[in-house]
């Protein structure tokens, strides 16, 4: 009986140690990936929304002035935070046009921003970011 408890405990500790590095690598700070000095606004149609941890993602089809359509990735807040704000998987259907304000990725080769606010044609304005991102709390747009 005692051996079984020790074996279960050791197995639990080993599994925890094996899984912990993946969790640590999976999350990042705002300042590590996004540049607060590069605010930007995107207008496009929502292609899909991924409700995954640690952050949800919105994929936006944005048409450049030359007519080329680019896919932009918008990092949203954590799914639980979005749910607490009243979002659900049907809040913003694919194909909806959105105007997204956020901060550009530090990597110039990525079409990615950390989203802060989303505005929709029906007048809804939603906070889509994470609190404590390192981005300014109040924008002077």
Average pLDDT (79-103) is 91
The three-state DSSP-derived secondary structure of the chain is CHHHHHHHHHHHHHHHHHHHHHHHHHCCCHHHHEEEEEEEEEEEEEEEEECCCCCCEEEEEEECCCCCEEEEEEECCCHHHHHHCCCCCCCCCCCCEEEEEEEEECCCCCCEEEEEEEECCCCCEEECCCCCCCCCCCCCC
Q: What is the CATH number of domain 30-127?
A: 2.40.50.140
Statement: the pTM of the whole predicted model exceeds 0.85: no
Average pLDDT (123-135) is 73
Question: Is residue 109 over pLDDT 90?
Answer: yes
Q: What are the residue ranges spanned by the domains of the chain?
A: 30-127
Question: Is residue 134 over pLDDT 80?
Answer: no
């Amino acid at each position: 009986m005692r051996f079984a408890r020790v074996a279960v405990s050791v197995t639990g500790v080993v599994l925890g140690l094996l899984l912990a590095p993946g969790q640590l690598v999976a999350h990042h700070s705002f300042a590590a990936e996004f540049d607060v000095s590069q605010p930007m606004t995107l207008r496009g149609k929502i292609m899909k929304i991924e409700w995954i941890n640690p952050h949800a993602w919105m994929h936006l089809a944005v048409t450049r002035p030359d007519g080329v359509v680019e896919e932009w990735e918008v990092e949203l807040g954590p799914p639980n935070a979005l749910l607490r704000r009243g979002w659900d998987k049907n809040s913003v259907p694919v194909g909806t046009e959105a105007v997204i304000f956020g901060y550009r990725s530090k990597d110039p080769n990525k079409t990615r921003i950390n989203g802060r606010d989303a505005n929709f044609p029906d007048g809804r304005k939603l906070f889509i970011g994470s609190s404590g991102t390192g981005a300014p709390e109040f924008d002077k747009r």
